[in-house]
Amino acid sequence: MIFGAHIRRNSIKLDGHHNSALEQARGRMMLVMSIFMIAYAVLAFRVFDVSIIQGELGHVRAHHEQQDTVDLPADHVLKRGRIYDRNGVMLAGSLKTSSLYANPHLIDGVEETAQGLVNIFSDLSYGNVLQKLQSQKKFVWIKRNITPAEQYKVLELGQPGLEFEREDRRVYPQENLSAHILGFTNIDNHGLAGIERSFDQMLSAGEDINLSIDVRLQHVLRRELGKAISDFSAIGGAGIIMDVQTGELLAGTSLPDFKPHSLSDAKTSDLFNRMTLGVYELGSVFKIFSTAALLDTHNLPMGTTFDAREPIKIGRFTINDYHAQKRELTIPEIFMHSSNIGAALMAQQVGTEGIRNLYDDLGLLRPLDFEIKEVGRPIVADPWREITTLTASYGHGIATTPLQLIGAVSSIVNGGLLVKPNLVKGAEGDTPRESLRVISERTSKKMNKLLRLVVTQGTGGNADVVGYLVGGKTGTAEKSTKHGYDKKSLISSFVGVFPMDNPRYAIYIMVDEPKGNKKSHGYATAGWVAAPAVGRVVQSMVSILGIAPKEVKQGAEMEANLIRYLPLEDRKPAKKTGGHLVSY
């Protein structure tokens, strides 16, 4: 028993040892088994997940993404900013289009593919495409910015080597309308001219720009300038509408212009911006500045006379009058008949220093600091002699851009405060205005009366619009050539301002080389060419901007006290105000 017990105990002990080892082994096996089971279960699950759940849906997702080429916005490429007019009308924007490229390594049947592509894109040449397709590169552009219909046809070719990339393309919904101001970009969306160039960085960063121009006025100006150019078979022209208080450009155009979408069709002359880049001797409109200089520096009565009977001779120069009156002229007469002799005499009285200072203050002697970079450098005689002072008084011997001229005129008529022409609209309520005074308010008022007189009594009659007190000054200049001035090629321009009793808008129209027609009795001078165009612009402007006409009682006209300086036979009766409105 004891033995047995011993044995048993032993065996038990042995058994117990054995047993616990087995148990342990079994337990471990179980553990390993369950770990494997779980692992297989996880694997099975994962296979199911990857192949069924994600496989099916994932496929759809990948497909979806490829179609829209859109991922999360974080890595979305920035679109070039838009350009708007002052009322939020879009002038330039960007659209996504497809561009076709080829991977020549994957192209099968180079010749057929090239033929197929040429059939779709008529502007591609077979040889050119063939050469591209057989190159050793992995990427060659075939055609950028194609239409969806073209893309569809390319897909029909079934070539795996032809692929598409989505690209931004610049679009100008208004087409030619503001072409010279907006400029254009190259195919990689980098600005090469105009606002596109000068604000390239901002636009590239996706920021929008609001310009001060108004497309409606822009259209009116372009229409009327175009009419003047075609009526008088001119080679081109420029036009600007400016807010005389702020210097904002409300419209600006230069003709001929170009279609921004098909630049390759544009001639070099179409791309030339006459408004800001062209410099011209603009002629008698400069009498505004010389007269203002005289009135501002000398306290002379308007009745002061200057002897315009004889041409002025200085050295080899002779200063003559176009509308010669051959008598002594008062200041208003000099201004309204646009007497060169008179203007030269007035400038002589002011002196070189005075004339030059005012011209400099008005920014006529330096290139303009403007928002687009295509800005012309004025041509000024160097050194400035006495004869320069005399000729500059009527706009010869000094060449400026039309934009500078209208800026200077605005500074004269708005009460005498210098304005800086500008094109980009600032935030609302934030109208930075330079308050540098160039002439006194009194002189400015006198000038406004003189300008009105030109339209009611003088050379600018065709610009008058009843009820809107248009004032202005004509300027007809002969273009200078290598052999002196050419009597037949003229620059005819008119600067108009309205309403003259509280000037708000200045309009400048310049026509390059107009030829007289039957209606103008063969004349191609400013009074016939540019003045009526400005009148028509004013007429359209008032209904667009909703400006009410003013009735002026006879004898209460602002220029009334100047008329007495005119000889009786020169005085024209005032036009009747009041319209053709119906009354029952």
Partner 1 sequence: MKHLSVKTVAIFIVAILLGGLLFNTSQNVQKSQDDLRALHAEIEAEKETIGVLEVEWEYLNRPQRLEELAKKTLKMSVPEAGEVTGNMDDIPDLSTHASEVLIIPQAKPATFQRGGEL
* Pairwise CA distance, residues 230 & 223, whole Å: 11
Residue 163: phi and psi, rounded to 5, are -130, 170
* Pairwise CA distance, residues 467 & 498, whole Å: 10
Beta carbon of residue 478, minimum distance to partner 1 (angstroms, whole number): 33
Comparing CB distances to partner 1, the nearer of 1 and 60 is 60
Beta carbon of residue 17, minimum distance to partner 1 (angstroms, whole number): 15
Comparing CB distances to partner 1, the nearer of 413 and 463 is 463
Comparing CB distances to partner 1, the nearer of 429 and 573 is 573
Q: Are 286 and 441 in contact (CB under 8 A)?
A: no
What DSSP line would sit under 226-259, residue for residue?
Answer: HHHHHHTT-SEEEEEEEETTT-BEEEEEEES---
Tokens of 553: 């009682």
Comparing CB distances to partner 1, the nearer of 7 and 47 is 47
Beta carbon of residue 507, minimum distance to partner 1 (angstroms, whole number): 14
Beta carbon of residue 221, minimum distance to partner 1 (angstroms, whole number): 11
* Pairwise CA distance, residues 394 & 407, whole Å: 17
Q: Are 337 and 450 in contact (CB under 8 A)?
A: no
Beta carbon of residue 227, minimum distance to partner 1 (angstroms, whole number): 12
Q: Are 383 and 221 in contact (CB under 8 A)?
A: no
- Contacts with partner 1 by CB under 8 A lie at 23-24, 26-27, 30-31, 34, 38, 42, 45, 49, 53-54, 57, 61, 64-65, 68, 70-73, 76, 89-90, 93-96, 171, 173-175, 177, 215-216, 218-220, 223, 465-468, 538-540, 542-543, 547-550, 578-584
Beta carbon of residue 25, minimum distance to partner 1 (angstroms, whole number): 11
* Pairwise CA distance, residues 282 & 491, whole Å: 7
* Pairwise CA distance, residues 204 & 528, whole Å: 46
Comparing CB distances to partner 1, the nearer of 63 and 377 is 63
Residue 158 neighbours by CB distance under 10 Å? 10
Comparing CB distances to partner 1, the nearer of 52 and 436 is 52
Beta carbon of residue 24, minimum distance to partner 1 (angstroms, whole number): 7
Beta carbon of residue 70, minimum distance to partner 1 (angstroms, whole number): 4
Q: Are 381 and 335 in contact (CB under 8 A)?
A: no
Contacts of 362 (CB under 8 A, 6+ apart): 289, 407, 408, 411, 412, 418, 438
* Pairwise CA distance, residues 195 & 377, whole Å: 19
The 3-state secondary structure of 432-490, one letter per residue: CCCCCECCCHHHHHHHHHHHHHHHHHCCCHHHCCCCCCCEEEEEEEEEEECCEEEEEEE
What is residue 110's three-state secondary structure? helix
Comparing CB distances to partner 1, the nearer of 31 and 47 is 31
Beta carbon of residue 573, minimum distance to partner 1 (angstroms, whole number): 18
CA 184 to chain centre: 10
* Pairwise CA distance, residues 315 & 318, whole Å: 8
Beta carbon of residue 276, minimum distance to partner 1 (angstroms, whole number): 22
* Pairwise CA distance, residues 237 & 565, whole Å: 35
Tokens of 540: 């359209």
Comparing CB distances to partner 1, the nearer of 27 and 158 is 27
What is residue 160's three-state secondary structure? coil
Comparing CB distances to partner 1, the nearer of 27 and 567 is 27
* Pairwise CA distance, residues 540 & 177, whole Å: 17
Residues marked as catalytic: 284
Interior/surface letters 130-150, b for 16+ CB within 10 angstroms, e for the rest: bebbeeeeeeeebbebbeeeb
* Pairwise CA distance, residues 224 & 228, whole Å: 6
Comparing CB distances to partner 1, the nearer of 95 and 187 is 95
